[in-house]
Amino acid sequence: MLPALRRLYSGQGRASVLARAVTGSAGLRLAGMGLGFLVGIQLARGLGAEGYGIYGLAMAIISVLMVPTEFGLPQLLTREVAAAHTKKDPGTIHAVLRWATKVSLAIALAIALALLAWLMIWGDGVQSPLAMPLLAGALLVPVAAQVSMRCAALRGLQQILKGEYPDVLLRPLFFSLLLLMAPWLLGPLTPTMAMALGVTSAFMALVFARQMLAQTLPTQPTVVNHRPDTRTWWLSALPMAATNGLGVLRGQLLVLMLGLLLTVSDVGQYRIATSILLLVLFPVSVLNTVLAPSIASLYVAGDRDALRKVLLALSAGSAVGVLLLSVPFFVMGDWLVPWVFGEEFDAANGVLVILCVGLFLSNLFGGNVVLLNMTGHQHDVMLVSAASLIVLIVAGYGLVAQLGLAGAALAYAVSNISSDVLMWVMAKKRLGLAASVLLAVPSNRSEGVA
């Protein structure tokens, strides 16, 4: 086994390149996740429950505003740049990058003006506690979008690890360093200051991303032989933007509900729980990244038996990984979470336990999103994502109003489980196979994969 792995990693073929890229990406994401967790600790301890709640609520609004600014452009850039790179067409690479940058900046300007107008007429206007963090965060909207697009272009140029560094590693690293220096240079941390430091770290990451891309881009041709097909780019970006928007709304909706129905301190408690949940999700994201190429290749080859084994490994590995990483919070989370983040966050572990249980149950049916995406059924993924968002809205409003923080966690768990079960049903319907630990029964369908 070990000699085979050594040959795989030392070789020069496609499988070897992919294995090194996947391993490097997983290591990079693990380091970035650790830095992100450190940033969460610094923010929680520096701001306290109420301040962190204000910051979290502002970030939820900013995250939603980023959806139209990015407009599906990072995914479009990766696809179009990769295709043009394969065809040795540098003119299209430069054209699509210029077009995406202009579109994103124009949308960002419109959003900034709309945000300012909203703050002027909403409640206490610019005097409200949320106003200044939002105004500072408005600068994050265009900057973060530009970072994402340059990273996407690098990935399209087959520079996978370079395309991960600025956003995954450098941005949280700079943010953590700025938060470390802030008390000595700027005084006690405030939500507005924290947001401004986040914007600064994103801008620093953008400088590095621009430099990396400039070193990698092919030389722009002096003569353009054809006009860019911007209409096709618009039509391609729309469904990608819709899918991204559904995902972001699903992730931030409960934070907005808590801010509306409860207190900013409750928002802070919930944000801490969801930040820890990202660590619990790590094995899921790694397995999805590692096994997605195998799912695609086995599907094309028509090897259904091997594909079933990969899908079972994906679902079982995800569920077991989530369970193992959840155990510390089941056993001693009531002591551990306040010790790490501060005594004010004593309610966060109760929320986290509910989220972990829901995540474990949903991953018993996990992996079908990757299966559907890798087999050309992205439209089904978008429809199920929309349905799960509706479930979250209905369940979230009722449960948060009745149960508070616990209701928010239950609503998220119900939405997650229903989404993964629906993905399983859709995969069985479309393909005659699906990923699930509980229902890993071979299908009776014997036709080839189509």
Confidence of residue 445 (pLDDT cuts 50, 70, 90): very low
Residue 186 shares a structural domain with residue 284: no
- Residue 9 inside a domain? The answer is no
User: 252 and 217: one domain?
Assistant: no
Residues 213 and 261 in one domain: no
Domain count, the chain: 2
The answer to whether residues 277 and 313 belong to one domain is yes
Residues 154 and 242 grouped into a single domain: no
How many angstroms separate the CA atoms of 4 and 412, rounded?
42
DSSP string, 353-397: HHHHHHHHHHHTTTTHHHHHHHTT-HHHHHHHHHHHHHHHHHHHH
Tell me which residue of 405, 64, 62 sits closest to 259, measured CA to CA.
405
Give the tokens for residue 344: 């004010």
**182 and 312 belong to one structural domain:** no
Helices (H), 87-185: 90-121, 131-138, 140-156, 171-185
pLDDT tens digits for range 236-252 = 556 666 666 666 677 77
Which of 228, 250, 270 terminates a domain? The answer is: 228
233, part of any domain: no
pLDDT of residue 223: 52
Mean pLDDT calculated for residue range 352-369: 88
Q: Are 34 and 177 part of one and the same domain? A: yes
In this prediction the pTM is 0.70
Integer angstrom CA distances of residue 369 from 286, 288, 372, 379: 14, 9, 5, 11
State the residue range of the domain holding 400: 238-439
pLDDT value of position 326? 93
As a whole number of angstroms, the distance between CA 364 and CA 440 comes to 10
Q: Would the CA dihedral through 207, 211, 213, 217 be positive or negative?
A: positive
**Of the listed ranges 212-216, 223-227, 317-321, 337-341, the one predicted with least confidence:** 223-227
**For residues 395 and 385, what is the distance between their CA atoms, to the nearest angstrom?**
15
Residues 216 and 255 in one domain: no
Asked if 403 and 278 sit in the same domain, the reply is: yes
Among the candidates 228, 259, 288, a domain finishes at 228
Same-domain check for residues 247 and 212: no
**67 and 189 belong to one structural domain:** yes
Q: What is the pLDDT of residue 444?
A: 39
DSSP 154: H
| Contact (Cβ atoms closer than 8 angstroms) between residue 144 and residue 200 | no
Return the pLDDT at 227. Answer: 61
Q: What is the pLDDT of residue 443?
A: 42
Q: Judging by beta carbons within 10 Å of its beta carbon (0-12, 13-18, 19+), is residue 20 exposed, middle or buried?
A: middle
Note whether 319 and 364 are within 8 A (CB).
yes
Average pLDDT in the chain: 79
Same domain flag for 384 and 420: yes
